[in-house]
Amino acid sequence: MTKIFYFSATGNSLWSAKKIACNITSANPSQECELINIGAYAHDDNEIVIEADAVVFVFPSFAYGMPRVMRKFVKKAQFKTPYLAAFVTFGSSPRGTLGSLRRILKKIYAGKMFFGKIPATENYLAIFGTPEVDTIRQRCEMQADATEEASRSVIERKENKVSLFYPLSFLVYCLFSLGIKLFYKFYRISGKCSGCGLCEKICPVSAVIMKERKSKGVSRKQPHFTSKCEHCQGCVNLCPLRAIQFARVRFGTRGYRHPEININELIK
């Protein structure tokens, strides 16, 4: 059994995780793959023991580092597997993301390791804006090629190392880690919100709670953001009415989702 752990807000990492699973089983039909969402472990403080023929991680780069939930997960996991591979999906550059993962793993895991990068579409609308349709097409093609390469690396049990030292990445990630503790306070809901509750359902770490609110004498449900927020931008991208704002940032009329990932696949 190969266990594939993923974290995904807008579907890029999920798409690659699914493709890797499919390629592994096509190469060896007796090798089953299980896809596991790391978000499900976000609020679980128990130790996690993972037994498998191989363990694969697929996750996005956040500020040149790992999503906080993924970092916590790896730190508390015990790996009983001879092989572990990790793939980071990224929009522009993941810099020291894989190095930060290797720093943790080398203390707790002695088996064979492989680290790889998968270019994908940038989903951080607050800085980069909505990606153009042509850009999405080009990035998806790059993602598909890199995912094929990633699958081959796992099937052939390739090994490699990545550098552990990226001082700039370390600094940027430290600032992000401080910011993330406060960012949830800056999400705003515009009058366009219909109270549909999709943001609550798709939040991978259950950081959104729908609450009854009174506005102009009318009571209706609206999302409330909590400190569990990973700032993954899932809700911002996927809200069908574009009703979620972050501080003073005005988002475009379209959000981003991997074109081959259905919204239902992102619902917990």
Q: Do the bridges between strand 2-6 and strand 54-60 make them parallel or antiparallel, or are there none, so unpaired?
A: parallel
Q: What angle is formed at CA 207 by the lines to CA 223 and CA 190, rounded to 5 degrees?
A: 25
Pick from 123, 147, 151, 245 the residue near ligand FMN by CB under 6 A: 123
Residue 215, strand partner residues: 218
Closer of 198 and 232 to ligand FMN (Cβ): 232
193: left (phi over 0), alpha (psi -120 to 50) or beta: beta
Q: Does 100 bind ligand FMN (CB under 6 A)?
A: no
CB of 181 to ligand SF4, least distance (A): 12
Query: Could you give the 3-state DSSP secondary structure of residue 116?
Result: strand
CB of 18 to ligand FMN, least distance (A): 11
Binding positions for ligand FMN, 209-268, rule CB under 6 A: 231-233
CB of 192 to ligand SF4, least distance (A): 7
Binding positions for ligand FMN, 47-66, rule CB under 6 A: 60-64
Residues lying near ligand SF4 in the complex (CB under 6 A): 9, 189, 193-199, 203, 205, 207-208, 223, 225, 229-235, 239, 241, 243-244
Strands (E) in the chain, as ranges, are 2-6, 33-37, 48-51, 54-60, 77-80, 83-90, 112-119, 187-189, 208-215, 218-225, 244-246
Which one of ligand SF4, ligand FMN, none interacts with residue 125, CB within 5 to 8 A by kind? none
Which strand (E) or helix (H) includes residue 8?
A: none
For ligand FMN (CB under 6 A), the number of binding residues is: 26
Q: Does 91 bind ligand FMN (CB under 6 A)?
A: yes
